[in-house]
């Protein structure tokens, strides 16, 4: 009986850990996407800037 209760509590603990880690992973993924888009944005801005300056040179 005690073993069972112990097992149940352990399982719920583990489940909680899994949900937490999953949420963390999701956040990190989203963050990575955002950062990726920022890089693209900066690349694009740099390209624009170059295109603007090239003919003058």
Alpha-helical runs (H) found in 1-57: 2-53
Total chain residues near other proteins (CB under 8 A): 15
Residues 38-57 that bind other proteins (CB under 8 A): 38, 40-45, 49, 51, 55
Tell me the CA distances in angstroms from 18 to 6, 10, 37, 55, one per residue in order.
18, 12, 29, 57
- The least distance separating other proteins from the CB of residue 41, rounded to whole angstroms, comes to 5
Report residue 18 as tokens: 């899994």
Binding site for other proteins (CB under 8 A): 27, 30-31, 34, 37-38, 40-45, 49, 51, 55
């Amino acid at each position: 009986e005690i073993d069972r209760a112990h097992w149940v509590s352990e399982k719920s603990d583990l489940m909680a850990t899994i949900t937490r880690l999953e949420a963390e992973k999701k956040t990190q993924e989203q963050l990575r996407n955002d950062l990726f888009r920022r890089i693209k944005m900066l690349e694009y801005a740099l390209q624009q800037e170059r295109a603007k300056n090239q003919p003058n040179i």
